[in-house]
Structure 1
Amino acid sequence: MKQLPEGALVEVAAYFQVLAEPTRLQILNILRSGERNVGELAQMCGFTAANVSRHLALMTQQGLVERESRGTSAYYRITDPSIFELCDLVCGNIARQMEKSAGRRAAFTSLS
């Protein structure tokens, strides 16, 4: 991030805040394989449709997913697949940090 004005930083923080909730990450992961309706997502996540709908509304507001009404159902799909590149980057970083921590712990356990 280059020197962004405060307003832009607020927008970036709001985007990352949407990703800071495990249920929303689970929903994104399910949508990775294709669009789903709220009922399907709720069943796959193990949450109520109302709970999933609240998460989807926030994700739609931030532009992560888009909604399409078909009859009595609303279907959701990923708006920008590059979100998975971001998530994969973060997951890789966390895995590397965990490997380093495990290596440091192993150095101490070999002393006993």
Structure 2
Amino acid sequence: MVSCKNVFLTLTLVVIASNQCECGVYSLIRDLLQWNVAGIPIIHKTVKWDFDPEVSQKRREQFFELHGYRAGKYLERIGLGIDGKQRERAYQHAIRDQGKLQGLSILQP
């Protein structure tokens, strides 16, 4: 009876021995082992990141100043368009929304 350990060891030795030969079967076995068993090569790279946890708080404050809480100002600017007719659309929206509170009628319960 052949165990999985022996099969794996045999396949590994075949791949190592056939590194110079790019035959179809050997390259298939090597790729199978490398990409499925050992993992893709980028997984084994060590990467170092410069990380400052305090930067997020500063950027959050900047975001709120520029775009408003929950990006309300940003969404309003996007809704007005970018074709140079933002002021006309803002005026039309103000007329349309007169008597409403954030899109809801004042008279509704």
> Which of 1 and 2 has higher RCO (CA within 8 Å, sep 6+)?
1
Higher strand share: 1
Higher Rg: 2
Is the structural similarity TM-score above 0.5?
Answer: no
Q: Report the TM-score, using the length of structure 1 for normalisation.
A: 0.25
